[in-house]
Amino acid sequence: MRRPYVFITRKLPDDIVAPLYDKYDVNMWPHEHLVVPRDVLLQEASRAEALITMLSDRIDEELLQQSVKLRVIANVAVGYDNIDIEAATKRGVIVCNTPDVLTETTADLTFALLLATARRLVEAAEFIKEGKWKSWSPLLLAGTDVHHKTIGIVGMGKIGQAVAHRAKGFHMRVLYYNRSRNIEAERALDATYCSFDELLEQADFVVCLAPLTNETYQLFNREAFMKMKRSAIFINAGRGAVVDEKALYDALIDQQIAAAGLDVFAEEPIREDHPLLQLPNVVALPHIGSATKETRYAMMQLCCRNVIAVLEGKEPYTPVKSQ
């Protein structure tokens, strides 16, 4: 019998994909750091029963239309804004993501980015390596306190709640804004639900963890930054396009807000000469929220398990909920 064809859009570790090779005809794009070209992706998808995709792969109507054999797409990410869920659902293609396994790891990175931005860690690390350290000085690289401040979390999903949990350890007051209230989180984390505007007005740290949807596209625009405190620090570990980056740049230049820590960008990879990267009060990271070896392995493994489940006619472990 012909074995199902599985295409993996990036080189994944051999031990992770071994269970797939045992059962299926597998083809893997051989590069670890290069995005599969569109024409190769379309070609491969058109013969595949299953795809393992990265968040950098656009899975749209055009691709799905040509991929008549496709049964499952397993995206190595919790976010799935790169996939047209409606177009997939219409064709009975199951889409899976990787929730839960990355929650704590991504919350760690989000909090690390918050601390790094508040305490100017990147500037300080560059300062010492550039031989600029002449003496201990009262205000040398003085940042801003994190403990006992107010954090405003936009997007109170699992990662948002895990960030709130960390914030409690720093004796912070926790505000959140979400599509829907989460009474359980409010009780467990002593978090206060408020409107988007109230959060912007009150938070010392505005942390964006919202998924990218039609509703959240450029939610953080000029008006949003104008409402924040001048001392506010903006952290984004969700999706870049939730922010109008020109408005963010202007807010930083005009000292409308104090600093920003960004793990995600509207266009990734962001250009080296992008204006945001030229600012000393911007801490920028290359989308590494879930990037620990343990968690990335768990994410890749979960994708393989989802593919096997669907191809064996079983329920997938983590189908995208909105399907």
Q: Is 236 in the site for ligand GLV (CB under 6 A)?
A: no
Asked if 159 contacts 103 with a C-beta cutoff of 8 angstroms, the reply is yes
Contact stretch for ligand GLV (CB under 6 A) within 16-24, 62-70, 74-82, 251-259: 74-82
Residues numbered 261-300 forming contacts with ligand GLV, rule: CB under 6 A: 289-290
Q: How many residues does the chain have?
A: 323
- 287 catalytic? Reply is yes
Tokens matching residue 290: 């879930």
Q: Is 143 in the site for ligand GLV (CB under 6 A)?
A: no
- Strand 150-154 to 94-96 pairing: unpaired
Three-state SS string across 120-134, please? Answer: CHHHHHHHHHCCCCC
Contact stretch for ligand GLV (CB under 6 A) within 77-85, 87-95, 161-169, 171-179: 77-85
Nearer to ligand GLV, 182 or 290 (CB): 290
- Least distance (Å) from ligand GLV to the CB of residue 244? 19
Nearer to ligand GLV, 79 or 319 (CB): 79
Q: Is 77 in the site for ligand GLV (CB under 6 A)?
A: yes
Tokens matching residue 24: 């299926």
Residues numbered 34-73 forming contacts with ligand GLV, rule: CB under 6 A: 55
Distance CA 118, CA 31 (A): 36
Contact stretch for ligand GLV (CB under 6 A) within 76-84, 85-93, 179-187, 220-228: 76-84
Q: Which residues pair with 28 in a beta bridge?
A: 8
Nearer to ligand GLV, 4 or 99 (CB): 99
Alpha carbon 191 to chain centroid distance? 22
- Least distance (Å) from ligand GLV to the CB of residue 322? 15
Tokens matching residue 171: 């004796």
| 155 residue type, one letter | G
Residues numbered 83-112 forming contacts with ligand GLV, rule: CB under 6 A: 102
Kindly give, in sequence order, each residue whose CB lies less than 8 Å from that of residue 241, ignoring residues fewer than 6 positions away: 81, 212, 217, 218, 266
The one catalytic residue in 10, 71, 239, 296 is 239
Tokens matching residue 197: 């505007």
Active site residues: 239, 268, 287
* Contacting residues toward ligand GLV, per CB under 6 A: 55, 77-79, 102, 289-290
